[in-house]
Structure 1
Amino acid sequence: MDDLPDNLLCHILSNLSTKEAALTSVLSKRWRYLFALVPNLYFESFSSQHPDHTSFIDFVDRVLRLRGKDRVNKFSLKCGDGFEDEDVYPWISNVLRHGVSDLSLHVSSSLVYWLPSKVFVSKTLFRLMIGPEDGPKVKLRNACLPRLKTLSLDSVVFVEGEVGFAKLLCGCPVLEELSLCNLEWDYWGSCYVASKILKRLTLCCAHCDDNPKSVSFDTPNVVYLKYSDNIAQKYPKLNFDSLVEASIDIRLTNDQKSNVRYVSDDDEEREMVGNATELVMGICNVKTLYLSYDTLETLNFRCEAMPVFNYLNHLTIESNPEVGWESLPELLKNCPNLETLVFQGLIHKATSSPSLTHCPVKFLKILKFGEACDDDDHVDMAMEMEMINHFLQKMLNLEQLIVYYNTLIEDDLVEVSSQLQMLPVVASSKCKIQVISDSLGLSITLPISL
């Protein structure tokens, strides 16, 4: 190792945490300060109550001091409650001043209540990640991140609401990947994401009791969308011309759920805001789609018309015992080129089984089989077997059925396989059936007798 040049040794040490790299300083005089010269710095201390709290601050100060004016490639800081702003701010300022390109700040609002605005004014940042829960607040004086390609904000609060967010987007002219998680609507009631460059977009809003007034996306080059939020009152603009894959989780508020689930015929229903039709129409050119059980419930009650998904070939449906499948038959009927259908669980609120006679699906996957069942109660599993029987009877084009049953007992896997083999009718002569347990590392392929 001593024969290797310093730059190669630094590259090797950069794969360790800075604390681990510092342990090499005892090897020899040559190694004494080498750890401080690595281009990637990783610091982690989650509690100020830890006995090493003071030494952690001293350690970070020392490493940055030893580096002098050397450029920092990546700086990752993870620290929890009890640290003071005056401890952290100089570290952030130091690495920004020395041209950091990848900055990751895992800090809470109790540590940094106001995030330094200089974080959003950098000519060198290529990737910026800030979080996690109860993240810091941001009030932007200016935003200028001309090289930023990836931005991930978790629980970060924009006190200027949509104005501050729009200012940030304008300051990121080459941004390709944007992730906003646990976004709260406290400071803004509307959201408008506009970018001609953006390719991947995640917008996940925290659970609350309000519906956003308006949500718009003018993102013609986005190929991947993950969207989770209460249903908006309206979706004025939806530009997803290049969308390939989408994960949609639109929810009713708790009051709305109570209203639609438990209202009787004699009750007067309160007016419900939002219409999912606009949103679904906006993503109808997608090829791969994931729908949560909350989305199914929202479509059940807040979708006036189901569009045709001409390009959809892979659909995943999440099930829940409290949510029915009323919207599923219309959805499947409007997917003329669907090849792969995945169910994350089969237990759902009792509704009529979806009509599948003309369903073009070739590959059917059942995930989480048996997970909703109690050890002493096989009612739910019998319902799941009944659903599978329905699929096999009605899907004329089915070529493969895979059931994922993550049991730890091999006999249970064999029993489910035997039950599947005893099903009376399989509509497609091409259909092959597999039962897989990843936990056991076993797979059983059934010889189906028609």
Structure 2
Amino acid sequence: MDLSGSRDVISSLPDDISSHILSFLPTKEAASTSVLSKKWRYLFAFVPNLDLDDSVYLNPENETEISTSFMDFVDRVLALQGNSPLHKFSLKIGDGIDPVRIIPWINNVLERGVSDLDLHLNLESEFLLPSQVYLCKTLVWLKLRFGLYPTIDVEDVHLPKLKTLYIEATHFEEHGVGLTKLLSGCPMLEDLVLDDISWFIWDFASVSVPTLKRLRFSWQERDEFPKSVLLDTPNLVYLKFTDTVAGKYPKVNLDSLVEAHRSSLVEASIDKLPSRLWGK
């Protein structure tokens, strides 16, 4: 078999096709091609998807050294790509990563027009997302997963293109007011997942989103009741409810609901669920 001929075929591919092929490789492997030649360094700069996971580097015997190596790797990847447009950015990290290093990474991809942002930050230290996350005009898909329930503190929210929002394991500053602020800045939102957001301590929770089509909220480890839940979602077609039952539901607008799944953690209070949630 003539392997040299195969190499020539790959080298002769148009740049946009070669860059597209690189986008399917794990970022660590895709980045390694940049050392092959100036051409591959150029092609990697235009890879539209980055998937960065520090578990690829895990070695319990050299945890500090490995964490530093990963942080330096992310810096090099972002430097190689410069200001090229970015479609998807996924970052999964555990404790040991310096939070001060994380914020410039996030700001970098936001400035490059990222539309799909997935942040899984399993940090033991307090960490606040940069405010630019809530003011990004290009985000269409946003997934935020945390480790030790950090606080989401939102002041101004303007996410005009956001259609999917997934939030897991966090607190909201001002409790229900914080969630209301966040949702009010998402005029195109269609999918919402609220998973383990500690809403049982809130005075109220309000999900009022006219464009919303799918909603899932759950909390698995508490038996306290959230006090009041308002659902004003006239175009919702799918609902999954896995939680304790609220003390009251002052408004439930589910006029378009087609499919509902519910599982109460407090069976004695199941009769408090509105009929539209319980399927009656």
Which bracket does the TM-score occupy, shorter chain normalised?
0.7 to 0.9
The structure with more radius of gyration? 1
**1:232 corresponds to 2:246:** yes
Alignment partner of 1:23 out of 32, 39, 45:
32
Asked if structure 1 preserves the Cα contact closer than 8 Å seen for 2:247 and 2:272, the reply is: no
Superposition TM-score, scaled by structure 1 size = 0.56
Aligned residue number for residue 3 of structure 2: none
CA distance in 1, matches of 2:82, 2:185: 30
CA distance in 1, matches of 2:252, 2:200: 24
Paired residues for 1:60-75 under 5 Å: 60-75=74-89
C-alpha displacement of 1:145: 0.4
Asked if structure 2 preserves the Cα contact closer than 8 Å seen for 1:146 and 1:171, the reply is: yes
Q: Point out the more displaced range, 92-101 or 40-49.
A: 40-49
**1:161 corresponds to 2:175:** yes
C-alpha displacement of 1:205: 2.0
Aligned residue number for residue 271 of structure 2: 276
Paired residues for 1:112-151 under 5 Å: 113-151=127-165
Q: Would you tell me which structure has more helix in proportion to its own residues?
A: 2
CA distance in 2, matches of 1:32, 1:231: 55
CA distance in 2, matches of 1:71, 1:149: 20
For residues 390-436 of structure 1, what are the alpha-carbon distances to aligned partners after superposition, in whole Å with 9 as ceiling and x for unaligned? xxxxxxxxxxxxxxxxxxxxxxxxxxxxxxxxxxxxxxxxxxxxxxx
Aligned residue number for residue 8 of structure 1: 17
C-alpha displacement of 1:186: 5.9
Alignment partner of 2:63 out of 30, 46, 49:
49
User: RCO higher in 1 or 2 (8 Å CA, sep ≥ 6)?
Assistant: 2
C-alpha displacement of 1:195: 1.1
CA distance in 2, matches of 1:111, 1:14: 32
Asked if structure 2 preserves the Cα contact closer than 8 Å seen for 1:127 and 1:151, the reply is: yes
C-alpha displacement of 1:113: 2.0
Aligned residue number for residue 59 of structure 1: 73
Letter in 1 for 2:103: Y
Mind listing any 5+ residue stretches in structure 2 that lack a counterpart?
A: 1-9
Letter in 1 for 2:22: L
| Cα separation, partners in 2 of 1:196 and 1:69, compared to 1, 3 Å | same
Asked if structure 2 preserves the Cα contact closer than 8 Å seen for 1:78 and 1:107, the reply is: yes
| Cα separation, partners in 2 of 1:49 and 1:33, compared to 1, 3 Å | farther
CA distance in 1, matches of 2:92, 2:26: 12
Seq. identity, %: 47
CA distance in 2, matches of 1:219, 1:94: 35
Q: Secondary structure at the match of 2:104?
A: helix
For residues 235-268 of structure 1, what are the alpha-carbon distances to aligned partners after superposition, in whole Å with 9 as ceiling and x for unaligned? 221111111111101121xxxx7xx7xxxxxxxx
C-alpha displacement of 1:7: 1.5
C-alpha displacement of 1:133: 3.9
**1:107 corresponds to 2:121:** yes
Aligned residue number for residue 213 of structure 2: 199
Letter in 1 for 2:25: L
Q: How many residues align?
A: 266
C-alpha displacement of 1:16: 1.7
For residues 341-381 of structure 1, what are the alpha-carbon distances to aligned partners after superposition, in whole Å with 9 as ceiling and x for unaligned? xxxxxxxxxxxxxxxxxxxxxxxxxxxxxxxxxxxxxxxxx
C-alpha displacement of 1:83: 1.1
Asked if structure 2 preserves the Cα contact closer than 8 Å seen for 1:156 and 1:183, the reply is: yes
Aligned residue number for residue 327 of structure 1: none
Aligned Cα root-mean-square deviation (Å) = 2.1
| Cα separation, partners in 2 of 1:71 and 1:112, compared to 1, 3 Å | farther
| Cα separation, partners in 2 of 1:278 and 1:226, compared to 1, 3 Å | closer
